[in-house]
Each structure stands twice: as structure tokens, then as C-alpha cells.
């Protein structure tokens, strides 16, 4: 089975979210903060297993641009200057599908580190 492919991507600047509808019929509304702290970039994910960086202080971050990368991904530019994560369709789908769990893990990690959103 092939992975779902986005049919529409809608940037909601006022509410700081990217809405992604997939050909599977699923639609996810992904907050800019959530996308920023889960960026697939090496800056956030590191260069190997267990190297993910906990990114704090992004509660007010917004997406300034959504740029296509071939037929398989988008580059998101954030207003904090971050623009090195390429979000493949698989990454966007996984972030949508696992949003509740990922978000809770992020909040727990912030709390454990004494950090704020």
C-alpha cells in the first residue's frame, strides 16, 4: 500500500497552523509550534539515533512560507529563521497521525527539563 499523498495544504497564518488534507480522506491541522519543534532537520533531529534536540520557547512561532520540494515534500520557513527542514509527505502524515502522542511527549520533556513553550 502506498503512503497517503496530500491533496491540499492550507497555511492559516492567523491561527498559526498548516492544514493538510490527504487522499486517504484524513485531514490534520498542525500547529506551527508543533511542526517547528518536530522539524525533520538535522538541527532538531540530530545526525543519529538519540540526538534529537528539545526545542523550547516556540509557542508564538509562525510559518512564513510553504515551498514545494519536487513532488514529495515541502520546505517550511518559520518566522524565527528556521528553514532547513524538508517535510516529506510521509513525515507530514506521521506528524498528523501521531500528533496527540507526540505533543504529550514534548510537553512532558519540557516539564522534565524545566523549560517553557
109 located within any domain: yes
CA distances from 45 to 26, 41, 92 (A): 26, 6, 15
Mean pLDDT of 30-41: 98
Domain with 91 in it = 6-113
pLDDT at 1: 57
98 located within any domain: yes
CA distances from 14 to 75, 111, 117 (A): 20, 28, 19
Neighbours of 72 (CB within 10 A): 12
pLDDT at 43: 92
104 located within any domain: yes
Mean pLDDT of the chain: 96
48 located within any domain: yes
Cα gap 106→37, rounded to integer Å: 8
pLDDT at 88: 98
Total of domains in the chain: 1
Read off the pLDDT of residues 43-74 as tens digits, 9 standing for 90 and up.
999 988 889 999 999 999 999 999 999 999 99
Helices 99-113, 89-97: axis angle to 10 degrees equals 80
pTM of the shown model: 0.95
87 located within any domain: yes
1 located within any domain: no
CATH code for the domain in which residue 48 is found: 3.30.2020.30
Beta-strand (E) ranges in the chain?
6-12, 17-22, 27-31, 63-69, 73-78, 86-88
pLDDT surpassing 70 at residue 92 = yes
Amino acid at each position: 500500500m502506498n503512503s497517503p499523498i496530500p491533496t491540499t495544504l492550507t497555511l492559516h497564518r492567523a491561527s498559526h497552523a498548516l492544514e493538510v488534507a490527504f487522499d486517504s480522506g484524513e485531514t490534520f491541522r498542525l500547529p506551527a509550534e508543533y511542526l517547528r519543534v518536530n522539524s525533520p532537520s538535522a538541527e532538531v533531529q540530530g545526525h543519529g539515533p538519540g540526538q534529537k534536540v528539545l526545542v523550547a520557547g516556540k509557542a508564538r512561532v509562525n510559518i512564513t512560507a510553504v515551498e514545494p520540494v519536487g513532488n514529495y515534500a515541502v520546505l517550511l520557513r518559520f518566522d524565527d529563521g528556521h528553514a532547513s527542514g524538508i517535510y516529506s509527505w510521509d513525515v507530514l502524515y506521521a506528524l498528523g497521525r501521531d500528533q496527540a502522542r507526540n505533543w504529550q511527549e514534548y510537553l512532558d520533556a519540557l516539564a522534565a527539563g524545566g523549560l517553557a513553550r
